[in-house]
Amino acid sequence: MFGGGQMELYVRSDTVVSRIIGGETLIVPISKGVGDLASIYSLNPVATTIWEAISRPRSKDEIVQLIAREFEGESKQIERDLEAFLLEMESVGLVAEVGVAATS
């Protein structure tokens, strides 16, 4: 899927809180100790799996494998959807790249 070398790791930002309410994962950005209720994000089941996976640093490859285990789908499509999710979450500060892991 990905070539050898180095792979970026992704992790949740420490400036958000998340809660599961009524089976739905809600993410609230925190600014200066106060929740930004105007910017609440609601995650679908696949996004929730990603969010739970990145409670610790993970590579895209690891996340794709986790999603593929839980949900049906072609790995290329999962990869594209994951990239879109990570990009969007990074752009609003909910996910951070935290360096690289050596791959073989």
Give the Cα separation of 82 and 13 in Å (integer).
Answer: 17
pLDDT, one tens digit for every residue, the chain (104 residues): 444 445 789 999 988 889 988 888 999 888 766 666 678 899 999 999 999 999 999 999 999 999 999 988 888 999 999 999 999 999 888 999 887 655 54
Task: Give the domains, in start order, of the chain with CATH numbers.
Answer: 5-15+44-103 (1.10.10)
Residue 102: predicted pLDDT: 55
**Region of 91 on the Ramachandran plot (φ > 0 left; ψ -120 to 50 alpha; else beta):** alpha
> Residues 29, 36: contact at Cβ < 8 Å?
yes
> Residues 93, 13: contact at Cβ < 8 Å?
yes
Give the Cα separation of 3 and 17 in Å (integer).
Answer: 34
Residue 28: predicted pLDDT: 87
Residue 33: predicted pLDDT: 65
